[in-house]
Structure 1
Amino acid sequence: MKEQDINPWQTLSSKKIYDNPWISLTEHQVINPGGGKGIYGEVHFKNLAIGVIVLDDANNTWLVGQYRYPLKAYSWEIPEGGGPENIDPLTSAKRELLEETGIEAISWTEIQRIHLSNSVSDETGIIFLAQDLSFGESNPEESEQLIIRKIPFLEAYEMVLTGEITDSLSVAAILKVKITHFNSL
């Protein structure tokens, strides 16, 4: 075992503070790496975060706009949502893309796995690139009031650079696709 893989934290006790169908919150009494006693709050996500970046033959992509309640702000994002941990993430990605945009894809590539807020949560995000597209009607969930935008991919990239897109799955997906598919542009 490498030195960096050894956990320097000691857990004295743990107590679940909150639980709902999507998240749980646990408070841990700990001794930190410096030897001091303290508490550490941990949010456990009961679903995987799933993101889909769409790319057509003309290098367009699709963004989904919606008001994000926790942020109290509007957000432009790639199509995304939650996927149960016991279901293949690709199945969840296909469902989210179809639900939010009405788009189906033949070609799917997993492009990245990321931790979304590793200082307070264990949430893992899985991002897919969807290509070879067909189009139908979207069917968003009751909690989603969405605006769908088809834009040139490089415009989405500029939105990341200017801070207009701030969602972490979206930023990671757009930057990854820029590096791997458009590096010479």
Structure 2
Amino acid sequence: MESNPWKTLKKELVYENPWIRVENHQVLNPAGKEGLYGKVHFKNKALAIIPIDENHTTWLVGQYRYTLDEYAWEIPMGGGLIDQDPLESAKRELKEETGIFAAKWTEIMKIHTSNSVTDEVGYIYLAEDLSFGATEFDETEVLKIIQLPFREALEWVMSGKITDAISVAGLLKAARILGY
């Protein structure tokens, strides 16, 4: 393992809400010069799920993303508390957003979402052997759920219709695992 060439001189809390904490770090950079480094700490793990049935059909979730000021298509995803098992949180998220339950779960990827400014860690799962129930959206969610062939979801990635980094990475990794 490589050693850390950065030295933290001081940390200052800039902003905090239930989901994130923003810090300003005074540092000595690898060249030994003083500088500032902003860090966004996520209070949850990112969890993303690719549900896939025996016919290689999958489900995507569409929603308006406030931070982007645009509509986005994604694999089902959400957050899980840092101290909770990510798989259990992923099961909850899949049920809440799509009403889908899965008997078979495979972790296919651990991902850092934007490691230059945040410490967020994401886990992506393949969910198989599916059954269906009712959704339980959060009060902030207005979601559209669509079902489509997995190959078409891959086409959406390649055409730029899906731009969410976790969705892109997860769908491409799943494609490799599934033999596409």
Q: TM-score, normalised by structure 1?
A: 0.95
Q: Does 1:74 align with 2:71?
A: yes
Rounded to whole Å, the distance in 2 between the matches of 1:166 and 1:17 is: 29
Alignment of 1:82-93 (within 5 A): 82-93=79-90
Show structure 1 runs of 4+ deviating over 2 A. Answer: none
TM-superposition CA deviations, 1:118-153 (whole Å, max 9, x none): 000000000110000011111111100000000000
**Greater shift after overlay, 53-62 or 35-44?**
35-44
Pair 1:116-2:113 in alignment: yes
Q: Percent identity?
A: 56
Q: Which residue of 1 aligns with 2:132?
A: 135
Name 1:55's counterpart in structure 2. 52
Deviations 1:50-76 (A, max 9, x none): 000011000000000000010101010
**What are the within-5 Å matches in structure 2 for residues 91-102 of structure 1?**
91-102=88-99
Give the distance between the partners of 2:84 and 2:8, measured in 1 at CA: 31
Match of 1:41 among 38, 41, 45: 38
Instruction: List gaps (5 residues or longer) in structure 1.
Output: none
Letter in 2 for 1:78: I
CA distance in 1, matches of 2:148, 2:42: 32
57-66 or 12-21: bigger deviation:
12-21
2:175 maps to a residue whose letter is K
d(CA) in 1 for partners of 2:129 and 2:40?
A: 37
Q: Structure 2 regions of 5+ residues with no counterpart?
A: none
With normalisation by structure 2, the TM-score equals 0.98
- 1:87 is displaced (CA, Å) by 1.1
1:104 paired residue number: 101
Q: Cα RMSD over matched residues?
A: 0.8
Give the CA deviation at 1:161.
0.6
* Residue identity matched to 2:136: N
Alignment match, 2:160 = 163
Specify the SS of the correspondent of 1:155.
helix
Matched, 1:9 2:39: no
SS of match in other structure, 1:137:
coil
Shift of 1:85: 1.1
Once the 2 structures are TM-superposed, how far is the Cα of residue 182 of structure 1 from its aligned partner? 2.3
